[in-house]
């Protein structure tokens, strides 16, 4: 399990607090190669943020692209 790092972009929210439906969250996490317990967030500008193995934030692009 990868936990949220405090150096994620300001305003980044956990994915389940961003207002997406369950199907969108599942597709995003699957396309981002994130497990159910891996922290996944969305920044103010709509980018999906995850943590690498060292806990550094990684921007994977927009949630709209990953929800396809």
pLDDT tens for 13-50 read: 999 999 999 999 999 999 999 998 899 999 999 999 99
Place of tokens 């103010």: 44
Q: Does the predicted TM-score (pTM) go above 0.85? A: yes
Q: Give the domain ranges of the chain.
A: 13-66
What confidence category does residue 55 fall into, taking pLDDT thresholds of 50, 70 and 90? confident
- Element counts in the chain: helices (H) and strands (E): 2, 4
């Amino acid at each position: 399990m990868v936990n949220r790092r405090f150096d994620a972009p300001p305003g980044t929210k956990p994915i389940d607090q961003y207002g997406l439906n369950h199907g969108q969250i599942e597709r995003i996490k699957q396309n981002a190669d994130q497990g159910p317990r891996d922290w996944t967030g969305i920044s103010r500008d709509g980018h999906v943020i995850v943590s690498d193995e060292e806990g550094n934030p990684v921007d994977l692009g927009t949630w709209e692209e990953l929800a396809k």
